[in-house]
Structure 1
Amino acid sequence: MSVPENTVWKEVATLADIPALGGRVVATEGGEIALLRNERDEVYALDNRCPHKGGPLAEGTVSGDTVYCPLHNWRIDLKHGQARDPDVGCVRTWPVRLEGERVFVRLPE
């Protein structure tokens, strides 16, 4: 899914705030965003709702470029937000930028 117009980079966390192989919730005016960190210290941002039953993705387990929903173990691609086969669905992703240990997400103004 694409990022809406009128967005800005906002500092939302530090790398240390996001558990390795896990996530952290960031509250925004538009809803909750899950910041997820894999074993390579890559950080991804997705809406914090699994497309299946709305499970909190920030509470899921991260492996590579996948987060496993804590409710029913749906696998969601961190780069594109797509559910992996055989499941079907999508969650919005947000661009992330790291500056040293600081984590920025491109969010609506």
Structure 2
Amino acid sequence: MNALGIRVKVATYGELEPQMGQPILINDKRIALFKVTSGELYAIEDRSPHPKGGVLSEGLVSGHYVFCPVYDWKISLADGIVQAPDEGRVQTYKVEVLDGDVYVSV
């Protein structure tokens, strides 16, 4: 989170489908929002860190990981770290649910 800590309403919790990424745009930042089967929410940068990129909101979700749709890199939704043998990291964002509304802080 940056010094401003802007919190933006991005969805309603009940509308989010488990295992499906939802692309959102906040202040020119492309963010992927995920609801995993346990009900937890995660928000990460919506671009894979490899040179050709990859829209992570379109990736396959398994557990607490998303797989890049271009190179199949496995990326942690919790901390944004690309799993070995690949390397890299994507930005993560704080997600909160207040009265059924979902907020992401940037």
- TM-score normalised over the length of structure 2: 0.90
1:48 equivalenced with 2:34 (yes/no): no
- The aligned counterpart of 1:25 is 23
- Any stretches of 5+ residues in structure 1 without a counterpart? none
Moved over 2 A (4+): 15-19
Query: Once the 2 structures are TM-superposed, how far is the Cα of residue 100 of structure 1 from its aligned partner?
Result: 4.3
Structure 2 vs 1, CA of residues 14 and 82 (structure 1 numbering), >3 Å: closer, same or farther?
A: same
Aligned-partner Cα distance in 2 for 1:72–1:100: 38
1:62 equivalenced with 2:61 (yes/no): yes
- The aligned counterpart of 1:8 is 6
- Any stretches of 5+ residues in structure 2 without a counterpart? none
Report the more deviating stretch, 63-72 or 75-84. Answer: 63-72
One-letter identity of the residue aligned with 1:85: A
- The aligned counterpart of 1:85 is 84
Contact 1:37 1:62 in 2 (8 A): no
Query: How many residues align structurally?
Result: 105
Aligned-partner Cα distance in 1 for 2:35–2:56: 12
Query: Once the 2 structures are TM-superposed, how far is the Cα of residue 72 of structure 1 from its aligned partner?
Result: 1.5
Aligned-partner Cα distance in 2 for 1:33–1:80: 14
- TM-score normalised over the length of structure 1: 0.88
Could you give the per-residue CA deviations for residues 34-54 of structure 1, whole angstroms, max 9, x where no partner exists? 001111111100110001131
Percent identity over paired residues: 35
**Alignment RMSD, CA only?**
1.3
